[in-house]
Amino acid sequence: MAASRIKLEPGDVVMRAGDPIDRLIFPESAPVMLSVSTGGSSQDIGIVGRDGVIGWTRLLGEHPAPFTATIRIQGGTAIVVPAAAMIDAAADDSAVVTAVLAFAQRFSMQTARTLASALRDAPERRIARLLLMIEDRIDGDTMAVTHAAIATTLNLRRATVTDCLHVLEGEHLVRCSRGRIVLRDRPGLEGRAGLAYVAADGLG
């Protein structure tokens, strides 16, 4: 199977909604935000890291990409495999399709929890959940993320994000610096996130 490793930087769009899916992307160290367009604007609906694959719908028979996939949080690397090669692999090994279906189901649950959290949870809880989801998909407890990126992902005002991070920092759950957030107390942050958060094996 022809595969290659690519480097991803913040701002990169690795797949656009409506475009043909000619490759599948397996993030290694760069969390990827998936978004959909709603009335001329876009809304993030989920995050995929080394727990999943971008373009999985191609293996389920859907040709145009249903989501736009953007590197918004921090850069990293990913493995890229041509869609045709993955389709051949799936035809030869049913375990490939089984794994993709399992991921698709978990991602749908993540999307449902994201929607529920957006409707009912206070901003501090939503931010705590997002930070945990990011840490699940990177190495270490330090993430390169800006207040603006969090605001875009959660559809919040940047000032609201800043205020909430000050609260979390005051509770010694995180430490913030310019363009960096360090998780200091993961159990405490999980308590802040509440039932909206599920660990990475459940896809957030």
DSSP string, 54-100: BTGGGGGT--B-SSEEE--S--EEEEEEEHHHHHHHHHH-HHHHHHH
> What is residue 97's predicted lDDT score, i.e. its pLDDT?
87
Q: Do domains 4-117 and 122-202 have the same CATH topology?
A: no
Tokens 């389920």 locate to 60
Note down pLDDT in tens along the chain; length 204 residues: 689 999 999 999 999 999 999 999 999 999 999 999 877 788 899 999 998 999 999 998 878 999 999 998 889 999 999 999 999 999 999 898 899 889 999 999 999 999 899 999 999 999 999 999 999 999 899 999 999 999 999 999 999 999 999 999 999 999 999 999 999 999 999 999 988 887 654 444
Q: Is 70 exposed, middle or buried (0-12, 13-18, 19+ CB in 10 A)?
A: buried
User: Domain boundaries in the chain?
Assistant: 4-117, 122-202
CA distances to 8, 57, 67, 121, 145 from 200, in Å: 21, 21, 21, 20, 19
Could you tell me which CATH number the domain at 122-202 has? 1.10.10.10
> What is residue 1's predicted lDDT score, i.e. its pLDDT?
63
> What is residue 68's predicted lDDT score, i.e. its pLDDT?
96
Structural contact between residues 24 and 74, judged by C-beta atoms closer than 8 angstroms: no
One-letter amino acid at 188 equals G
Helix (H, G, I), strand (E, B) or coil at 203: coil
Strand 4-8 and strand 41-48: pairing? unpaired
CA distance 47 to 8: 15
Sheet holding 13-15, edge to edge: 13-15, 68-70, 32-38, 41-48
CA distance 143 to 59: 32
Q: Output the DSSP codes for 24-42.
A: EEEESS--EEEEEEETTEE
> What is residue 146's predicted lDDT score, i.e. its pLDDT?
93
CATH 3.40.50.150: does it fit domain 4-117? no
